[in-house]
A = this chain, B = another copy of it.
Amino acid sequence: MVHTDRRPRHPGAMSAQDRPGRTPRPQRAILAVLGCLLAALACLPVAQAEDGYELWLRYRPLDAEQAGDYRARFAQLVAPAQTDVQRVTREELVRGLGGMLGRAPTQAQRADRAGALLVGTPASLPAIARLGLELEGLGDEGYLIRSVQADGRAATVVAANTDAGALYGSFHLLRLLQTGQAVDALDLREAPKVKLRVLNHWDDLNRHVERGYSGQSIWDWHRLPDWLDPRYTDYARANASIGINGTVLNNVNANAQILTPMYLDKVAALAGVLRPYGIRVYLSARFSAPMEIGGLKTADPEDPAVRRWWRAKTDEIYALIPDFGGFLVKANSEGQPGPQDFGRSHADGANMLAEAVAPHGGVVMWRAFVYSDEEPDDRHKQAYTEFVPHDGEFRDNVLVQVKNGAIDFQPREPFHPLFGAMPKTPLMMEFQITKEYLGFATHLVYLGPMYEEVLRADTHARGAGSTVARVVDGSLEGHALSGIAGVANIGSDRNWSGSHFDQANWYVFGRMAWDPDAGARAIAQDWVRMTFSPDDAVVEPVVGMMMASHQAAVDYMTPLGLHHLMGRGHHYGPAPWVEGGPRADWTSVYFHRATKDGIGFDRTTGGSDAVSQYARPVAEVFNDPARVPEDFLLWFHHRPWTSRVSSGRSLWDELVHRYSRGVGEVDRMQATWTGLQGRVDDERHHQVERFLAIQRNEAQWWRDASIAYFQTFSGLPLPAGEAPPAQSLEYYKALEFPHAPGDTQ
């Protein structure tokens, strides 16, 4: 049921039949042919729904002129299909070129006409070997795309050292066409700068997704391994198209049952679907699994029986999944078990698992998002305090996975002080793709600028230029192992991500994991062209909305460095008044510290001294209220309400101004989008329009509730022209959302 298409399907298509009178004979012959064709047309089904399922791989027909050019360039496809990876590569090219160009290229064993597309490796395709291309430096996953003469004829070659490289190159080539690039003189070389580019699914075995706003888990555990939902294949295609090469199937708040034989069979079945797309499967391991499913009395990593159990379990996994990636572990954090329960260190725990997977080439990704059950003086400091002393103690197949900031995926955080502080350990970046603290799926917030800001931040660990990107890609300290993880925003919703625009966050994550130096704007441009329309009249305004959206959300939620003011538990909506409960650092008042005198968390040398966890040039800037970037002012400083900021306004006035500015930006986004009606398909246009209306309402709610609350401290009037909150503070405080999605179970 294509609900948006309420029009007759082919209006007037047969109207010639209705005309009275006779038609001259030759035309009648033509009309007869036409009749057949029209009949054929009438039998063709209606337009494909634009429901978002196809993501950025829509492969819609290009305009005739462009399609003609490309068709001549890609008239023939020479691509082996001896292996599974080769087979899916060829399938994708046939699908993509066929969709965009109106017909797929003819397939051939060797190029024998102009306009051949050669895809493969020197080993898989002799023609590529004969070209003598420079493939060194492309590694296991890189590729080149080049316009060449092959046997005297113009051809295009996608060449790599491995099948996976050729697959990635093929997706890149398709992207060139999707985004309307010239392809007559191609000379591209690409290799990923980061080795492990991994999605983390916080998916429970009952299909609940923690912090998921896109329906259920796409993993239908109950019907696995017998039913392999075709969706798994499309998931793999989407990931391969942006270079993601690993996926952790289950929640870091892990259930040991995933390691039982029944579930490992299911995991193996999924691995079989993902393997041809270059994607390895990883599992979150519950540290206490030897007790829960192994019948042991302890999970002490120094206990020989525990070590044996993990080795045997790992061997069992690799017998089923020879290319199993390894384990992700959340230990001694938020109630999860871990080595500290047995008096051991994070390094002890990680190394035990690393030893088990090492013979098989696996890795351990050990999360640094830890905080003990005791209340710390400043949670900001804890990961650094716990992990830095162990730098150098981890086995060489361990990565420590560090969130982008020290608190928890807030709308904006300064980069985590661990980056640059553990030179002997590969530090894996953990970004959140799902918008736990950013309005769930209904707020349009493009995360590219946020990722970019973090990756380009300079740790100064080895002097200026020691960016977080250089730490993460391993180049700063010369680590061979490197990784970026993204907490997935993927679910069973038809559009995968809960909203059309949240697909862009999956997309930009993959592109930046491949190349941490890539630009958020350029990636947004690609995404809009592929996802909505190559029409510049669409691309430029939509990219403009996207690029402004992150700052807008920061402004209407947590301006000037405020953080962690969301509703308790579910993190939906404003709740700066949250206090009490089991832990101070699970309240809002802990983080904003508003008083009659001022607002903000003093993390300076005179306060919690978190600043000193950064390299000195960074610490000096963060420590100085005059030099700290204003976006982080209240992150590091407790400031008087009447103090001046760079705009010349008082802090209070600036706070109100920024809240309103955020709401105003959503107004502009709405106006921009409304102006695109008719240029974007009705189905997606309507949903985005409705979601923007929700975002606008909720932005106003954030502004109003926050201002109403903070005014009880500042005691100051609103600046001139600023509307008072629509409701009383008591109204906002009374709102409850007992069934908000994505909460922990």
Contacts and interface: CB of A to CB of B under 8 A. Distances in A.
Contacts of A10: 98, 102-103
Most chain B CB neighbours (cut-off 10 Å) among A3, A5, A64: A3
Interface stretch (A45-53, A187-195, A600-608): A45-53
A477 to B, nearest CB: 40
Contacts of A693: 226
Interface stretch (A27-35, A131-139, A154-162): A27-35
A439 to B, nearest CB: 12
Interface in A172-229: 205-207, 215-216, 221-223, 226-228
A135 to B, nearest CB: 29
A98 B8 contact: yes
A36 to B, nearest CB: 10
A739 interface: yes
Most chain B CB neighbours (cut-off 10 Å) among A46, A55, A739: A739
A43 B68 CA distance: 13
Interface string A484-496: 0000000011100
A216 B30 CA distance: 54
A57 interface: yes
Given A8-B98, A226-B693, A694-B223, A492 B215 contact: yes
A626 interface: no
List 3 A-B pairs, minimum CB-CB distance, nearest first.
A42-B102, A8-B104, A45-B48
Interface stretch (A230-238, A428-436, A444-452, A710-718): A230-238
Given A43-B61, A222-B740, A694 B227 contact: yes
A264 to B, nearest CB: 15
Contact of A4 (B226, B230, B690, B740): B230
Interface in A12-43: 12-14, 26, 29-30, 33-34, 37, 39-43
Most chain B CB neighbours (cut-off 10 Å) among A12, A223, A740: A223
A464 interface: no
A54 interface: yes
B48 A94 contact: no
A285 B257 CA distance: 37
A11 interface: yes
Contact of A102 (B4, B30, B43, B227): B43
Interface residues of A, number: 79
Contacts of A30: 29-30, 33
A643 interface: no
Contacts of A60: 45
A222 B694 contact: no
A95 interface: yes
Given A9-B98, A29-B30, 20 more contacts: A1-B54, A4-B230, A6-B95, A8-B98, A13-B102, A30-B30, A37-B41, A44-B47, A45-B48, A45-B60, A46-B48, A46-B99, A215-B216, A216-B492, A221-B739, A222-B440, A222-B740, A223-B442, A223-B694, A257-B738
Interface string A57-94: 10011001000000000000000000000000001001
Nearest to A14: B103
A693 B225 CA distance: 12
Contacts of A47: 44-45
A207 to B, nearest CB: 7
A5 B99 CA distance: 11
A741 interface: yes
A37 B30 CA distance: 12
A728 interface: no
B226 A53 contact: no
Contacts of A440: 222
A141 to B, nearest CB: 23
Interface in A725-745: 737-741
Nearest to A26: B26
B11 A39 contact: no
A697 interface: yes
A205 B14 contact: no
A691 interface: yes
Contact of A103 (B1, B3, B12, B493): B12
A1 B234 contact: yes
A264 B493 CA distance: 25
Contacts of A237: 1
18 contacts: A3-B230, A3-B231, A9-B99, A9-B103, A11-B103, A13-B103, A14-B102, A40-B41, A43-B61, A43-B102, A46-B48, A46-B99, A205-B739, A207-B741, A222-B440, A222-B741, A227-B694, A257-B739
A104 B740 CA distance: 44
Given A691-B227, A694-B223, A41 B39 contact: no
B41 A41 contact: yes
